[in-house]
């Protein structure tokens, strides 16, 4: 078993003993998503820590989007719960890049793409190919794309 998955299981046991309903339900759902990913496809397999992190990131993103939708729908109590679940899952993910750090990485990629002959808004794909491997797991894709568009626009 991967170390991250075993940590999730240990934390689930601790949360259940402490009768922490929010943490235990969130971790249960996350472990279920990990198990579902492990058995999807033709053969079942053990996920690596990186793959487990991707599943956790996907689950955290779902929580953020749900919180936003509940907030827009006027269901603040449910939105707060979703935010709390997302924050709990974020603790298992690597620290996200700050806006300044992301801007530096994207600016370097834009210069790299320009030296390769790609310019203007059409260079978006070329820049994203350079940036994505550098920021994988450290920044949300939408945030990266918005930063790239902003820097390409001028």
Domain boundaries, the chain: 3-91, 99-153
Task: Provide mean pLDDT across the span 81-95.
Answer: 87
12's tokens: 């689930």
Instruction: State how far the Cα of 96 lies from the Cα of 111, in Å rounded to an integer.
Output: 23
**Band (77; pLDDT cuts 50, 70, 90):** very high
b/e string for 99-108 if b means 16 or more Cβ within 10 A?
eeebeebbee
Class of domain 99-153: mainly alpha
89 near 56, Cβ under 8 Å? yes
Q: How far apart are CA 36 and CA 151, in angstroms?
A: 39
State the CATH architecture for 3-91: Orthogonal Bundle (1.10)
How many other β-carbons are positioned within 10 Å of the β-carbon of residue 131? 23
Note the pTM of the prediction, 2 decimals. 0.74
């Amino acid at each position: 078993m991967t170390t991250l998955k075993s940590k999730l299981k240990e934390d689930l046991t601790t949360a259940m003993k402490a009768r922490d309903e929010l943490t235990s339900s969130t971790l249960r759902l996350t472990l279920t998503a990990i198990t579902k990913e492990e058995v999807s496809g033709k053969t079942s397999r053990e996920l690596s820590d990186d793959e487990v992190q991707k599943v956790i990131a996907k689950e955290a993103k779902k929580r953020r989007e749900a919180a936003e939708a509940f907030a827009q729908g006027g269901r603040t109590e449910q939105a707060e719960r979703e935010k709390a679940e997302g924050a709990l899952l974020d603790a298992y993910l690597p620290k996200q890049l700050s806006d300044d750090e992301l801007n530096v990485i994207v600016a370097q990629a834009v210069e790299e793409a320009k030296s390769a002959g790609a310019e203007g808004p059409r260079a978006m794909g070329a820049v994203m190919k350079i940036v994505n491997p550098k920021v994988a797991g450290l920044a949300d894709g939408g945030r990266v794309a918005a930063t790239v568009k902003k820097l390409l626009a001028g």
